[in-house]
Amino acid sequence: MGRFRAQPYAKALYGVVSDRPDGDLEAAVDELAGVAQAFEAVPDLQRVLVVPTIPPETKTAILDSVLTQLGVSDVIRRFVHVVQQHYRTAHLADIAVAFREVVDRAQGRARARVESASELSAAEKTELVRAVERLSGSSVVAEFEQDPDLLGGFRIRVGSKIFDGSLDAQLDRLSRESRIEQG
């Protein structure tokens, strides 16, 4: 079986939500992420929806019940039903991530993951975000995480780019440079 591509589903949902006069893209991102989390939290739900012996009407009723409990909008409800009808509910998390990326791109926004050796102050976080915005040329939404394995400094990932200002990286560079000079 080939690799699943979530992008077409994400782009289709973006088109539907953005074309609606009441289309709140951020709410749709959050709702779809919530549905994906529910599916990951309850693997049996996923299994029930793919069992061939369960009638499609029963699967639809089960899915409707779950979506009602989650309080999702009609747009997301219809979208999840389409995903289920295409036997892609196992990929809801991938679709949710791809949808967030499509929305971010459309909004001129980038996501950054910042790992630091110690807890950063609010001022340090703000300054790091501003620096990344200058480098990337777009607004940045950053997630901050403490990594006790870092000796000091920070590591920032924006998409596939990594800006490594950690002490670990500096020591590694010094080590490589000294080997080159000796060798």
**71 in a domain, yes or no?**
yes
DSSP 8-state symbol, 107: T
Interatomic CA distance for residues 132 and 66, integer angstroms:
40
Model confidence at 41: pLDDT above 80: yes
Interatomic CA distance for residues 51 and 156, integer angstroms:
43
Model confidence at 180: pLDDT above 80: no
Please check whether residues 79 and 16 belong to one and the same domain: yes
Domain-ending residue, one of 105, 137, 163: 105
Please check whether residues 165 and 120 belong to one and the same domain: yes
Mean pLDDT over 53-80 rounds to: 94
pLDDT of residue 155: 83
Please check whether residues 87 and 28 belong to one and the same domain: yes
Element (H, E) at 58: helix 56-70
pLDDT higher at 45 or 32: 32
**2 in a domain, yes or no?**
no
User: Within 10 Å of residue 46's Cβ, how many Cβ atoms?
Assistant: 14
pLDDT of residue 152: 79
Q: Model confidence over 100-141: pLDDT tens digits?
A: 999 998 988 888 888 888 888 999 899 988 988 888 788 888
Side by side, which strands form the sheet with 154-158? 139-146, 109-116, 154-158, 161-164
Please check whether residues 131 and 48 belong to one and the same domain: no
Q: How many domains does the chain have?
A: 2
- Residue 49's domain comprises 7-105
Please check whether residues 49 and 74 belong to one and the same domain: yes
Please check whether residues 149 and 90 belong to one and the same domain: no
- In the 3-class helix/strand/coil scheme, how is 22-37 assigned residue by residue? CCCHHHHHHHHHHHHH
Please check whether residues 91 and 16 belong to one and the same domain: yes
Please check whether residues 99 and 115 belong to one and the same domain: no
Please check whether residues 17 and 87 belong to one and the same domain: yes
Domain-ending residue, one of 53, 82, 105: 105
pLDDT of residue 1: 39
Sign of CA dihedral 15, 18, 22, 25: positive
Model confidence at 182: pLDDT above 90: no
Model confidence at 68: pLDDT above 80: yes
Dihedrals phi, psi of 158, to nearest 5 degrees? -125, 105
Percent of the chain with pLDDT over 90: 44
Please check whether residues 40 and 78 belong to one and the same domain: yes
Domain-ending residue, one of 105, 131, 149: 105
Mean pLDDT over 21-39 rounds to: 92
pLDDT of residue 37: 95
Q: Model confidence over 136-167: pLDDT tens digits?
A: 788 888 889 988 887 777 888 887 788 777 77
Q: Model confidence over 82-99: pLDDT tens digits?
A: 999 998 988 999 999 999
Mean pLDDT over 32-58 rounds to: 91
